[in-house]
Structure 1
């Protein structure tokens, strides 16, 4: 897009979750109904992101563009939940929140990426550090997302009350 000279904006995000679709929080919710032991990598860092925050940011960016277009509004912007974590700590936090809503016998064990890949076929290599710098979107549009822990609590509460895929 940039090489063609077309104005655009692109939102890059990571570890997106919500009550809808296929995502890690919903998988953890579904797995928590089973007697299950999970092995989760503990050496990959990222920032979980609530899908609702991405939607709000995109809407704000579109409205800002139509209200008062600026050259600084174009380009690639990063948006992710506030706070970094590992997949293992993310899973532990999700399980803690699920346990506040109902009983579960699910167990989570940490693993290095190397050990996990050795025991699982077909797993793609992931970068060890995938946190995004969201400074540009905040400076340009005044947009930021919530702490990922707050959003996970809200999603687990909603899943507990309404079940998956219901608003």
Structure 2
């Protein structure tokens, strides 16, 4: 199975490279200079030449706050480029997997979000990612849209590596406590993408297509997530850092964030028999890769 993946350096792409080697899949990751998502017309020739069995659309414009000032660029990269990829997939009669985000929701629901809940993004990033979902779905029925959230990995820049970096110079940090979500581990996202890709290549069943939520099990706040990171670091010989919970209003940002980013993974579990690990177990693996095993 040949999988063409958009992107070369992101957290999920790096995880896909590693997972693809062990899964026996032929992964071809394309990015600049082969393609430029800000120029969707550059996508067709490389993909036609590669003749993939499935396309995995991962690369995106992810600078959430900066997107408020670069809405047109974010729209092309997050909305129009996935649409172009989906049209290419439709012409070749192959499936496309598209990675999306919890930011398509407004965050005002009391419970966890399911795939059929109404969307309502609060910021430009969320609106452009929703546009990508819509364009993919319009272009081909042979699609799987996977919404994920709070992605982290033992490489790249993410919340875990940022917190550990702050511990080098700070004894106390202020972290938002009124946003709830499901931390999701990039290596597990990669493994799930490979499982889904194999299934949709081998099985044309309509129930395997559509929108799914792909998140770690359990929920937490950013502040509690930070506390767990520092606790895991201390267990590995790191420095103790005190977390001071604050409100979102006390941490001004250009883009509004949803208060509730919790998403249910029950549909993915039922249809694909896929369930990611509880987030605290995945965090433990991440910290072991970054720092080492706990002492004692």
Question: After TM superposition, is the score higher than 0.5?
Answer: yes
Pairing partner for 1:46 from 140, 161, 181 = 181
**Shift of residue 124, structure 1, vs aligned partner:** 2.2
Structure 1 residues 85-133: Cα deviation after superposition (integer angstroms, max 9, x where no partner): 011100001110001112314322110112222xxxx442111110011
> Given the alignment of the two structures, is residue 82 of structure 1 paired with residue 213 of structure 2, yes or no?
no
User: What is the total number of aligned residue pairs between the two structures?
Assistant: 158
2:266 corresponds to: 135
1:2 is paired with a residue whose SS is helix
In the alignment, the residues of structure 2 paired with residue 125 and residue 36 of structure 1 have an alpha-carbon distance, to the nearest angstrom, of 28
Question: Is 1:70 aligned with 2:205?
Answer: yes
* Runs (5+) with no aligned partner, structure 2: 1-135
Tell me, yes or no, if the aligned pair for 1:39 and 1:110 is still in contact at 8 Å: yes
Quick check: which has more Rg, 1 or 2? Answer: 2
State the alpha-carbon separation in 2 of the partners of residues 123 and 107 from structure 1.
26
| Cα distance in 2, alignment partners of residues 105 and 55 from structure 1 | 32
**Aligned residue in 2 for 1:10:** 145
Runs of 4+ that moved beyond 4 A: none
Alpha-carbon separation, structure 1, partners of 2:222 and 2:289: 22
3-state secondary structure, aligned to 2:195 = helix
Residues 230 and 240, structure 2, Cα contact 8 Å, conserved in 1: no
The answer to whether residue 281 in structure 2 is matched with residue 146 in structure 1 is no
Q: Give, in angstroms, the shift of residue 6 of structure 1.
A: 3.8
Instruction: Give the whole-Å Cα distance in 2 for the aligned partners of 1:97 and 1:124.
Output: 30
TM-score, length-normalised on structure 2? 0.51
What SS does structure 1 have at the residue aligned with 2:139?
A: coil
Q: Aligned partners of 1:123, 1:48: CA distance in 2, in Å? A: 22
1:21 deviates by: 1.2
Q: Which SS does the other structure have where 1:130 is aligned?
A: coil
Q: Is the 8 A contact 1:31 1:106 kept in 2?
A: no
In the alignment, which residue of structure 1 is the partner of 2:255? 124
The two structures have a TM-score, normalised by structure 1, of 0.88
